[in-house]
Structure 1
Amino acid sequence: MTGPRTLVVRIESSVIGDGEIAAPRRGEVLAGPLRFVETAADVPHAVWVRAQLVPSERPPIWQYTGEGTPRRWEWSGLLRGDGWTASWRGAVPRTGQVDLTGVFWGTFGYDTEGRFRGRVTRVRMASERYERRGAGGWYPVPGHHQLREVDAAPRFFGPGEELQDGDTADVEATVVVDLDLDDVPALPVRPELVPGDVSAAGGVLWVMDSALPVVLRIDADDRATRVVLPGAIGTPQRVHATPSGCWVTGGDGTFWVTEGVDPVRVDDQPVVAGAAAGESLVACTGAEVWRQYSPGREPVDLPAAAGYVSSMVAVGDSAYAVVLRRGESALRVVRVSASGECTVGPAVPLLPRGHGNPYLLGDPLRVVRGVDVGVVQPDLSLREERELPKHRLGGGITDGVSWTVGHPPDGTTSAGWWPLRGPARVDRTQQYWMLTLHHPSSLEPVTSVPVASSMPRIAVRELGGVYLSDGAVRRFRTDSPVMAEPEVIDVAGIAARLQ
């Protein structure tokens, strides 16, 4: 008889703090995205594995590999092991059965296909030494690795006050978790619909499944229709509602859905970001040419600009605004008119103190970079306006409603209880974030509600009615009491009754 299957996974503090993986506790079942990083055998927590490597069809990346090392080509794929899968990158192209040495990392899942699931048998906080170099930068010092046994990891830990003074600091920035892969209950049967994206227009709510090419249409009288698209399974898709229908976009192209007509794929070009204004959709393809779609017409190419789209919103009924990042030093604001004319603004620097992912907010239109708020000028430059009291994880504008998402405050920082108006009961044992609605012109907080995701999707179905998707579909009003739980809409039950 063989022993239980086990796995040792290392998880960074930011992954737990942002809720991608729950805070590990001995005796509880833990699951999350998994990556395998090839290393030397003497690296802390390195293991030898034999697994089946399914290479990715994506081309290799010319990758930076660390301080003082040259760039190199890196290939990617998925490792299939005994009771686990792990995303893989390596400097040597591989396929088939492989023997590898490296470290399992629980990491952010937006580009990680691998998954782990097991019962926690051991939890150890890992401490590393950091030293200050140059103008305040902190770098790890090799050879300093200490472990501290605990029953459970905290939700929030990692670099803090200890990196403010002195030239060296020991920081617990990761947690090492031992998992029993066998001592776990069977997974439940998947519901008929697991909510992914949501969008609304004309009183109709559209709910997209998180992995299936299935969209649920719920009209103003709460009558529902289940629509199956001729799309791929496992490809995340976004919905963009219009007064007469809905655009669906994703890695396998763009679809048009309207009541009483079979859905059609209008383009197979992958879409990385999009927004609908009126009946039209502007889609960013990840290249310098974007596309504009209108019902019953051929797609129109729009010359724009290359870069990472960090925020995109409809402005009124016919225009669009986009924030593009090129590298880590600057952004540009792009305006797209109803006729498809694209105007690219001047470079706006991102300051060294860090800006996270810049996003659009408010009316007049602003760009928020960390805590820095700048008003978009007619020439698409920014006029610095103010600083927010506290950095938020992200935000946007949905049908004129401005919103941000961040961690709930505890009153201990210089920002106090902002964006709440004063002291509030905050349950630190539960994993949740806080969605805040802001007045469009002043950006003052209007109300806040707890959400189960740091990246919820937002829809506005009717005046004062806001819907969100954070693993479930929830509903609240713009005048809801602060931190009141939104009402859950049983979309899985609705979909099941339509079978």
Structure 2
Amino acid sequence: MTRQRTLVVQIDEIAIEDGQIEPPKLGAVIEFPLRFAEQPAVNAHTVTIRAVLEANERDPVFQYTGHGSPRKWEWNGILRGDGWTASWRGFTPRTGHVELTGRFYGVMGYDTPTNARGRVTRVQLVTERYRRPPENHGWHIVPGHRTFRDVEAAPRFFDNDMIMRDDLFEVDREVGVVVDLDLDDVPPEPARPSIVPGDVSASGEALWVVDMELPIVVSIGSDHVAREHVLPGPIGHSRHVWATPTECWVGGKDGLYRCVIGAAPRRVNLRSVHQGAVIGEHFLACPSGTTWSLHTADNEPVVVEVPDGYVRSIAVDGEFFVVLIEQLHADIGSSSRLVRVTVTGETTVGPELATIPGRRGASPYLAGAPLRIFRSGTASRVLPDLALGAMEQLEGDPFHGGQVGNFVWIIGHPPDGTSRTGWWPLPGPVDYDRTRRQFWLFTLLDAGTLEPVKSTPIFATNPAVTTDGKGTIWVRGAGVQSIPTESMQWPDGLDVAALLDEN
């Protein structure tokens, strides 16, 4: 008889509240990204594991290790164990078969391709004591006061109101859960669908969808027939797709491809392409470096010479492409510039933008008409000389957005009326289904006035967004979905795999 495989995993509240991991409950089968952190054996819930460590080729990071502690070099890789995989970070370089002591964590999945899957057999709510010295506003964990309490299920949201109060200097706060997972008592995983959407783009009546990992693109026309286009590229790469009225372009780490209905896809460039935009039949591809390229149907690409920089955002402003690039400097950190590109390849480089208004750490993006640079809750007007003009303040603080058709789209947390922004971007108190798992609020703003037009709950923090010739707005959230005409209705799903299988 084989032994039962189990894992004990700590899941911090941020991964649950942000929707990455559903609140664990007794008896449920859950799957989530997993990390293993090396820790001394005296810490609670530490285990000693044996696994195979696949170190990656990235350079180590000179990491901060805590207040008053020296920085150390930190390496990372993937641990492969019996029934699980986990990302690993450690201050000692390792590879191959290893024996490590530490703790498993359920984490956000943006930087780790690993996972654990099992049935929950125990849930313990974790409480830490925090203390704030009277002379500052920072909270610090008080050692020796970590407690555990068995519960039927983890909460959907954890109470953080106490740490916002100025009259408290010591609080006991729930910071997450520890779960016991049975890795064996789970049903077989379903077979992978014929396509798992990774990006979507529309033009006219055609919708193009690219797989998340496979070199497969599917086109869906006005006849609702799905056609498969197989790229001559490797498996395992994520790719982006940009549709024109007659074809589409697909870019990723392995280069740029052209897809036309009725012809075999072909690779037209080996350079990595992750950013681009379309005006009519003109496609601007923006790989890293000082050379971009303009593509149209069967013509040779036009070389576009630009300043070196990382492409942050691209928007269409009338008959021009406008690109926001970030440039790194050894002495001052980083600055930004705007670059205007015509459909024939002429460029105008704007002045250096030392700062872009908005919350530090938030990613800026271009959208709106007139064109603006958005950053969290601010919108700064782009002037004809590509400098920044007057700044407008949104009523809320969305954490991402972009341009789609005649709208600005933004993503934020659904409001409940208790924050400083009230019910924005909703018009007021709204009843909606709160029984489904955590969602984010997708909102369309009028491109000119920036007033909210309608909002929709979706399951994606940074969706791909596109619009077709009929004005239907499509997102790649929980699969491919269309945004309803009525506000606060769940989006309508399009089962691309089912359409493909029918054909």
Tell me the TM-score normalized by structure 1: 0.90
Identify the residue that residue 307 of structure 2 maps to in structure 1: 304
User: Does 2:151 align with 1:150?
Assistant: yes
User: Does 2:410 align with 1:404?
Assistant: yes
8 Å CA contact retained: 1:410, 1:426: no
Aligned Cα root-mean-square deviation (Å): 2.7
SS of aligned partner of 2:499: helix
8 Å CA contact retained: 1:345, 1:379: no
User: Does 2:112 align with 1:105?
Assistant: no
| CA spacing shift, 1:137–1:290, aligned 2, 3 Å | farther
Within the candidate set 388, 391, 396, 1:385 is matched to 391
Deviates more, 1:289-298 or 1:47-56: 289-298
Q: How far has the Cα of 1:209 moved from its partner?
A: 1.3
Separation in structure 2 between the aligned mates of residue 13 and residue 284 of structure 1, nearest angstrom: 38
Structure 1, residues 192-249: CA drift from partner, whole Å, max 9, x if none?
A: 1122210012332101112211111112333332101122222111111123321112
User: Does 2:215 align with 1:213?
Assistant: yes
Identify the residue that residue 271 of structure 2 maps to in structure 1: 269
8 Å CA contact retained: 2:204, 2:470: no
Point out the structure with max Rg over C-alpha.
Answer: 2
SS of aligned partner of 2:268: strand
8 Å CA contact retained: 1:34, 1:114: yes
Identify the residue that residue 240 of structure 1 maps to in structure 2: 242
User: Does 2:375 align with 1:361?
Assistant: no
Separation in structure 2 between the aligned mates of residue 329 and residue 121 of structure 1, nearest angstrom: 49
Residue type matched to 1:335 in 2?
V
User: Does 2:474 align with 1:467?
Assistant: yes
What are the residue-to-residue correspondences of 1:231-380 with 2, within 5 Å?
Answer: 231-285=233-287, 287-289=288-290, 291-295=292-296, 296-298=299-301, 300=303, 302-307=305-310, 309-322=311-324, 324=326, 332-338=336-342, 339=345, 341=347, 342-343=349-350, 345-348=352-355, 354=360, 356-380=362-386
Residue type matched to 2:203 in 1?
A
Separation in structure 2 between the aligned mates of residue 387 and residue 154 of structure 1, nearest angstrom: 34
| CA spacing shift, 1:203–1:16, aligned 2, 3 Å | same
Residue type matched to 1:446 in 2?
V
| CA spacing shift, 1:349–1:433, aligned 2, 3 Å | closer
Separation in structure 2 between the aligned mates of residue 135 and residue 304 of structure 1, nearest angstrom: 44
Q: How far has the Cα of 1:413 moved from its partner?
A: 2.3
| CA spacing shift, 1:153–1:417, aligned 2, 3 Å | same
SS of aligned partner of 1:176: strand
Tell me the TM-score normalized by structure 2: 0.89
Separation in structure 1 between the aligned mates of residue 183 and residue 26 of structure 2, nearest angstrom: 14
What are the residue-to-residue correspondences of 1:3-82 with 2, within 5 Å?
Answer: 3-82=3-82
8 Å CA contact retained: 2:226, 2:499: yes
Q: How far has the Cα of 1:2 moved from its partner?
A: 4.2
Separation in structure 1 between the aligned mates of residue 283 and residue 131 of structure 2, nearest angstrom: 49
Identify the residue that residue 456 of structure 1 maps to in structure 2: 463
Separation in structure 2 between the aligned mates of residue 237 and residue 161 of structure 1, nearest angstrom: 44
Separation in structure 1 between the aligned mates of residue 387 and residue 158 of structure 2, nearest angstrom: 38
Separation in structure 2 between the aligned mates of residue 429 and residue 281 of structure 1, nearest angstrom: 43
SS of aligned partner of 1:16: helix
What are the residue-to-residue correspondences of 1:126-165 with 2, within 5 Å?
Answer: 126-132=126-132, 136-157=137-158, 159-165=160-166
Residue type matched to 1:320 in 2?
V
| CA spacing shift, 1:170–1:232, aligned 2, 3 Å | farther
| CA spacing shift, 1:140–1:400, aligned 2, 3 Å | farther
Q: How far has the Cα of 1:108 moved from its partner?
A: 1.7
| CA spacing shift, 1:439–1:326, aligned 2, 3 Å | farther
Separation in structure 1 between the aligned mates of residue 103 and residue 275 of structure 2, nearest angstrom: 33
Separation in structure 2 between the aligned mates of residue 156 and residue 383 of structure 1, nearest angstrom: 40
Structure 1, residues 367-414: CA drift from partner, whole Å, max 9, x if none?
A: 332223322334444445333232223111023331112222222223
SS of aligned partner of 2:468: strand
SS of aligned partner of 1:494: helix
Residue type matched to 1:360 in 2?
L
| CA spacing shift, 1:163–1:410, aligned 2, 3 Å | closer
| CA spacing shift, 1:423–1:128, aligned 2, 3 Å | same
Residue type matched to 2:309 in 1?
A
Identify the residue that residue 418 of structure 1 maps to in structure 2: 424
SS of aligned partner of 2:501: helix
Residue type matched to 1:116 in 2?
A
8 Å CA contact retained: 1:335, 1:344: no
| CA spacing shift, 1:49–1:381, aligned 2, 3 Å | farther
Separation in structure 2 between the aligned mates of residue 384 and residue 66 of structure 1, nearest angstrom: 41
Deviates more, 1:65-74 or 1:396-405: 65-74
8 Å CA contact retained: 2:199, 2:240: yes
Q: Can you give the 5+ residue segments of structure 2 that lack an aligned partner in the other structure?
A: none
Separation in structure 2 between the aligned mates of residue 396 and residue 128 of structure 1, nearest angstrom: 39
SS of aligned partner of 2:273: coil
| CA spacing shift, 1:385–1:46, aligned 2, 3 Å | same
Q: How far has the Cα of 1:350 moved from its partner?
A: 5.9
Separation in structure 1 between the aligned mates of residue 59 and residue 274 of structure 2, nearest angstrom: 18
Q: Can you give the 5+ residue segments of structure 1 that lack an aligned partner in the other structure?
A: none
Identify the residue that residue 446 of structure 1 maps to in structure 2: 453
Separation in structure 2 between the aligned mates of residue 491 and residue 392 of structure 1, nearest angstrom: 30
Separation in structure 1 between the aligned mates of residue 139 and residue 446 of structure 2, nearest angstrom: 38
SS of aligned partner of 1:492: helix
8 Å CA contact retained: 1:245, 1:257: yes
Separation in structure 2 between the aligned mates of residue 386 and residue 63 of structure 1, nearest angstrom: 37
SS of aligned partner of 2:14: helix
Separation in structure 1 between the aligned mates of residue 314 and residue 207 of structure 2, nearest angstrom: 20
Deviates more, 1:9-18 or 1:155-164: 155-164
Q: How far has the Cα of 1:101 moved from its partner?
A: 1.4
Separation in structure 1 between the aligned mates of residue 2 and residue 389 of structure 2, nearest angstrom: 66
SS of aligned partner of 2:146: strand
8 Å CA contact retained: 1:125, 1:147: yes
Residue type matched to 1:469 in 2?
R
